[in-house]
Structures are given as C-alpha cells and as structure tokens.
Amino acid sequence: MSAAPIRLGVNVDHVATIRQARGTDYPDPVLAAMRAVEAGADGVTVHLREDRRHIQERDVRVLAERLQAGGQWRVPLNLEMAITDSMLALAEAVRPPRCCLVPEKREELTTEGGLDVAGQLPRVAAAVARLNAIGARTSLFIDPEPAQLAATLEAGAPAIEIHTGHYANASGAEAAALAEQIAEFARQAVAEGLEVHAGHGLHFDNVGLIAAIPEIVELNIGHFLIAQAIFDGIGPTVQAMHTAMRGARSNA
Ligand code: PXP
C-alpha cells in the first residue's frame, strides 16, 4: 500500500511574535502566510491565544479573507484555539475549514502538553459539536495516550493532532522509541476512523521519523520554519521542509 501524501501546514504565529515585540505593523503574518502558500504550503495555521501574545483577532479575519477566492479556500485555514466561548464565537464568525482544540495556560511559553479530552469530555464534545455545525473539521491536540483516543472518539471529533513535543525534546534511542509510540498510536487512531495529524517542535533534523509514519497525513510546523526563514526566506524554507517530509515518506 502506498502512503497517502503528507501535507504541510505552516504556522505563522511567530511572525506576529516579532511584530508584537515592538508594537509595529511589521512583519505581517498574513504576508508570510501568502508567501508560504506561494511556496507550496498545504495549509496555514494560527493560534489565537487568550493573551494575544502573537496573533491578533484582526490577523485571523484578514487571513481568512486572503486565503479565499470566489468563496473557495485556496488552502485551508486551521484555527488553533482553547475551548472558550469567545473563541468558539470567533470561529463561528470566521468559519475556518479546520480548527484544532488545544489546552492553554497563560504562563506557558508554548502549548506544553496535549488536551485532556478524557478529563473534560462534556466540554470538549460541546465545542466539537459547535464546530461540526459550521462544517469545520476539528482536530484535538492530544498526547499519544489510549484514554485520550477513546475520549476523542466519544467527543465526536473527526481528527487528532498528535503532540510531538516530547519526541522533539528527546534524542537518540529515546526519540526513536517515542516515534514508534507515536506510530503505533497513529495506527490505532486510523483504525478507529480518525484522520491523524502531528506537530510541535519539528525541524529539519527530527521531522523524518514522523513524516515516515504513513498514517500521518499532515504536519503543522511553526517556530522552526519562521526561525529558519530569517536565513533562507520563508519560501525556500517551506520548500525545503516539504522536500524533507516527502523524502522521509517515500523512503518509509
Ligand atoms: N500544533 C499545535 C497544536 C501547536 O499548538 C503548535 C504550536 O503552536 C504547533 C503545532 C507548532 O509547533 P511549533 O511552533 O513548535 O512548530
């Protein structure tokens, strides 16, 4: 069986981080997203955090306009968000084709762990129902733990994004073992009918083991791509990541 192609969702949050550091109107995450799309990005991801430390509500609205032509999405916008009433209301107004529900703590540097779906099933299920109602395909950002998979199925979400942060922080044999754990989890999720994405902490040197997992059809990558774009530009960086992902996939 040949593996499904693997998509790259480019997260442009950290373009906005640089802008917000000075309160300027540059660099523009929307412009970065458009350049990434021109270079072949399969989707654009933004995380509108509660504290608005990078992406602002206006960025989400402008991105949604710019990514559509004639009422069709040129590539999908994936809105990452915490489960709050105001975020759900924004999603209902903007109607992104993809949403990813993540946990959020104000004091964290970045999303530090997966969503505890099992521990708050009614709340997650209600959010998924609201997003299903606008036709958004919702993924739940979870750690590769069986209880979270079972809860995701109960919550009615069609997709998961596996948190690769622990894998990304490991090296050598430990990283290989965590990649195998992610692969086994992805197989179980696909067997249950879910679409499987992955992301967090991925870069050129560690993306291979994850991209090689045939059940994973999408990677969402941000921090490294924006950092590398300082040296190479966003277009060449997106193209190089695509090449790394596809190379790992075809050698799998
Ligand atoms: N996927 C999710 C759900 C995330 O929260 C993040 C970080 O915002 C990413 C992917 C991208 O992680 P990174 O910026 O480390 O590539």
Whether residue 65 lies in the annotated active site: no
pLDDT score at 210: 98
pLDDT score at 153: 98
Distance from residue 221's CA to the centre of ligand 1 (Å): 6
Pocket probe mutation, ligand 1, options 46, 80, 99, 207, max atoms within 8 Å of Cβ:
80
Ligand 1 contacts CB of residue 110 (under 6 A): yes
The rounded distance, in Å, linking the Cα atoms of 73 and 31 is 17
Nearest atom in ligand 1 to 197's CA: 1
Ligand 1 contacts CB of residue 80 (under 6 A): yes
Choosing from 14, 54, 80, 163, the catalytic residue is 80
Whether residue 80 lies in the annotated active site: yes
DSSP state of 42: S
Nearest to 190 by CA among 158, 212, 166: 158
Nearest atom in ligand 1 to 13's CA: 8
The rounded distance, in Å, linking the Cα atoms of 224 and 200 is 10
pLDDT score at 251: 82
Please report, as a single letter, which amino acid is at residue 240: A
Indicate the SS3 state at residue 39: coil
Pocket probe mutation, ligand 1, options 48, 203, 223, max atoms within 8 Å of Cβ:
223
Ligand 1 contacts CB of residue 102 (under 6 A): yes
Nearest atom in ligand 1 to 201's CA: 15
The rounded distance, in Å, linking the Cα atoms of 66 and 82 is 24
Choosing from 54, 163, 166, 200, the catalytic residue is 200
Ligand 1 contacts CB of residue 218 (under 6 A): no
DSSP state of 118: G
Query: Under a CB-based contact definition with an 8 Å cutoff, are residues 100 and 161 in contact?
Result: yes
Through-space distance between the first and last CA atoms of the chain, rounded to whole angstroms? 12
Helix or strand run (H / E) with residue 79: strand 77-81
pLDDT score at 187: 98
For ligand 1, atom 9, the nearest C-alpha belongs to: 200
Whether residue 163 lies in the annotated active site: no
User: What are the backbone angles phi and psi of residue 67, rounded to the nearest 5°?
Assistant: -85, -5
Nearest to 66 by CA among 34, 95, 26, 29: 34
Secondary structure, 3-state, 63-126: HHHHCEECCEECCCEEEEECCCHHHHHHHHHHCCCEEEECCCCCCCCCCCCCCCCHHHHHHHHH
Secondary structure, 3-state, 183-229: HHHHHHHHHCCCEEEEECCCCCCCHHHHHCCCCEEEEEECHHHHHHH
For ligand 1, atom 3, the nearest C-alpha belongs to: 141
Q: What is the pLDDT along the chain (252 residues), one digit of tens a residue?
A: 467 789 999 999 999 999 999 999 999 999 999 999 999 999 999 999 999 999 999 999 999 999 999 999 999 999 999 999 999 999 999 999 999 999 987 566 766 789 999 999 999 999 999 999 999 999 999 999 999 999 999 999 999 999 999 999 999 999 999 999 999 999 999 999 999 999 999 999 999 999 999 999 999 999 999 999 999 999 999 999 999 999 999 887
Query: Under a CB-based contact definition with an 8 Å cutoff, are residues 136 and 157 in contact?
Result: no
pLDDT score at 111: 65
Instruction: Decide: residue 51, CB within 10 A, 0-12 exposed, 13-18 middle, 19+ buried.
Output: exposed
CA angle 40, 228, 212 (to 5 degrees): 60
